[in-house]
């Protein structure tokens, strides 16, 4: 593979990364020992929220009443797309039954978990789309109880649009809490909430680490790192479109990689020339984030062929993969490692992030090599069953007994033997 790096990434150091796991472990131990009171104390200190941790129905209704009708309409539009896509996913997984032999039947069932905790990030941005993505998907899977949570905006609590999105998507209860204390409260079932069987949703390094440490006691969707995006573009792409799509993802900040892979040097150089000027047009805080990502995390790579471009993309296994090139069907058939694929200049990663329908909770940091993103399947247990007549069980019992003794497992063998010669 012949590659020419026109711009290389120079990631900043992450001096805090080693301290986070130890700090999270300490917090989880304290909260588990101290119960809801300790979780609430952390919330008061770290979140700055002094109100009730679980929103009342009156508070939820008041938030909806205050919200602008256009905002409600937009959230309903996005929710409708997300719900339809999730319901279509659910329909692809059906219960089944097969006759293994006359009188011996086996099958599978897909059973939703009893309770799920769905996290929507706060911080610099209030990610209402994450509330829609997680809660709607859990509801489409058939989860019995769904608790949505997000960090409050200090003494203001949750934004009205966040509350509305959570209830619209189907949340049964809403927890006004963020960070490790929220993950612990969901997992341990504090404040009268059911214990979550699955925790889902993106978050900062503390939330991700808390999910990682709680995994096993509860299920999780994935351990997500900083968001990343890769654009494949050929000479048919428009430099301004490619540049804006890169800047759009750089807005996430200095730890979010953005890569351009192309076989056209003129396009690459035009995009690189445009990006600084586009960043300068953003509001100050957004520009600072995008500039840091451009300086430290952006790469531009020149390849000779489209096959080389595809190979490099599969090696990176990006969270978001956007193809702005000819022959989109070829790329759809060829590419194998990505969280979500965007084909053609008519779509963009922001569509997937906000309103198009497919889920935006996706594998990062190369995890797309082995897993996909959040879907109804994360909230379902696919279980199996079997039943048999006495005559149908006989050949299975004979083979089971012989294999068990081959392995040295005599008690296993005798559970098969007794089916061959039942006691009177």
How far apart, in Å, are the Cα atoms of 99 and each of 93, 385, 392, 394? 19, 12, 11, 15
364, 346 contact by CB (below 8 A): no
Per-residue tens of pLDDT for the chain, all 424 residues: 678 899 888 876 555 567 999 999 999 999 999 999 999 999 999 998 899 999 999 999 999 999 999 999 999 999 999 999 999 999 999 999 999 999 999 999 999 999 999 999 986 667 899 999 999 999 999 999 999 999 998 888 999 999 999 999 999 999 999 999 999 999 999 999 999 999 999 998 999 999 999 999 999 999 988 999 999 999 999 999 999 999 999 999 888 999 999 999 999 999 999 999 999 999 999 999 999 999 999 999 999 999 999 999 999 999 999 999 999 999 999 999 999 999 999 999 999 999 999 999 999 999 999 999 999 999 999 999 999 999 999 999 999 999 999 999 999 999 999 999 888 7
Residue with tokens 């963020």: 178
Is residue 398 annotated as a catalytic residue, yes or no? Answer: no
Separation of alpha carbons 424 and 411, rounded Å: 20
CATH superfamily membership of 226-372: Nitrogenase molybdenum iron protein domain (3.40.50.1980)
Residue with tokens 């897993």: 371
- Which regions of the chain carry the CATH code 3.40.50.1980? 19-220, 226-372
Beta bridge partners of 302: 4, 262
Residues 6+ apart with CB under 8 A from 275: 243, 246, 247, 294, 298
Q: Give me the pLDDT at residue 310, please.
A: 97
Determine how β-strand 320-324 pairs with β-strand 104-112: unpaired
Output the six-digit token pair for 218. Answer: 């509860």
Phi/psi of residue 53, nearest 5 degrees: -70, -30
323, 331 contact by CB (below 8 A): yes
Q: Give me the pLDDT at residue 253, please.
A: 87
Separation of alpha carbons 43 and 46, rounded Å: 5
Positive or negative torsion for Cα 206, 26, 46, 63: positive
Q: Give me the pLDDT at residue 366, please.
A: 94
379, 198 contact by CB (below 8 A): yes
Is residue 320 annotated as a catalytic residue, yes or no? Answer: yes
Give the DSSP letter of residue 193.
Answer: P
Half-sphere exposure of 265 (CA within 13 A, CB side): 5
Separation of alpha carbons 193 and 185, rounded Å: 8
The catalytically annotated residue of 251, 252, 319, 322 is 319
Q: Give me the pLDDT at residue 7, please.
A: 86
Residue with tokens 């949570």: 149
Instruction: Count other Cβ atoms within 10 Å, centred on residue 344.
Output: 13
Determine how β-strand 104-112 pairs with β-strand 96-101: antiparallel
Residue of 177, 195, 194, 75 lying closest to 136 (CA atoms): 75
302, 4 contact by CB (below 8 A): yes
The catalytically annotated residue of 79, 127, 252, 320 is 320
Q: Give me the pLDDT at residue 2, please.
A: 76
Q: Give me the pLDDT at residue 13, please.
A: 59
Q: Give me the pLDDT at residue 154, please.
A: 83
**pTM for the complete prediction?**
0.92
Separation of alpha carbons 153 and 176, rounded Å: 10
- CATH architecture observed for domain 19-220: 3-Layer(aba) Sandwich (3.40)
């Amino acid at each position: 593979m012949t590659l020419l790096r026109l711009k290389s990434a120079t990631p900043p150091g992450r001096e805090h990364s080693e301290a986070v796991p130890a700090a999270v472990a300490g917090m989880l131990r304290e909260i588990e020992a101290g119960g809801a009171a300790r979780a609430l104390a952390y919330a008061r200190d770290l979140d700055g929220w002094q109100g009730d941790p679980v929103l009342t129905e009156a508070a939820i209704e008041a938030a909806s009443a205050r919200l602008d009708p256009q905002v409600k309409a937009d959230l309903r539009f996005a929710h409708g797309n997300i719900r339809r896509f999730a319901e279509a996913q659910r329909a692809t997984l059906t219960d089944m039954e097969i006759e293994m032999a006359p009188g011996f039947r086996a099958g599978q069932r897909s059973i939703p978990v009893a309770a799920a905790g769905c996290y929507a990030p706060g911080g610099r941005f209030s990610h209402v789309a994450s509330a829609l993505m997680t809660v709607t998907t859990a509801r489409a899977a058939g989860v019995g109880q769904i608790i949505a949570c997000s960090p409050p905006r200090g003494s203001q609590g949750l934004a009205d649009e966040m509350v509305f999105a959570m209830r619209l998507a189907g949340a049964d209860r809403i927890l006004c809490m963020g960070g490790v204390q929220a993950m612990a409260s969901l997992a341990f079932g504090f404040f009268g909430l059911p214990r979550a069987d699955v925790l889902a949703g993106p978050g900062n390094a503390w939330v991700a680490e808390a999910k990682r440490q709680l995994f096993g006691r509860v299920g999780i969707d994935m351990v997500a790192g900083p968001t990343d995006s890769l654009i494949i573009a050929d000479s048919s792409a428009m430099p301004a479109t490619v540049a804006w799509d890169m800047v759009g993802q750089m807005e996430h900040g200095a730890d979010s990689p953005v890569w351009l892979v192309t076989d056209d040097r003129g396009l690459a150089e035009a995009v690189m020339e445009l990006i600084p000027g586009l960043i300068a047009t953003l509001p100050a805080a957004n520009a600072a984030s995008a500039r840091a990502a451009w300086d430290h995390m952006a790469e531009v790579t020149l390849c000779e062929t489209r096959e080389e471009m595809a190979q490099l993309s599969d090696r990176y296994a990006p969270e978001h993969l956007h193809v702005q090139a000819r022959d989109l069907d070829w790329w759809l058939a060829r590419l194998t490692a990505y969280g979500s694929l965007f084909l053609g200049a008519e779509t963009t990663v922001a569509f997937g992030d906000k309103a198009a329908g497919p889920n935006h909770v996706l594998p990062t940091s190369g995890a797309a090599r082995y897993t996909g993103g959040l879907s109804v399947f994360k909230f379902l247990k696919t279980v199996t069953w079997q039943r048999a007549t006495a005559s149908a069980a006989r050949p299975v019992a004979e083979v089971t007994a012989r294999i068990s003794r081959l392995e040295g497992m005599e008690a296993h063998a005798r559970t098969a033997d007794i089916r061959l010669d039942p006691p009177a």
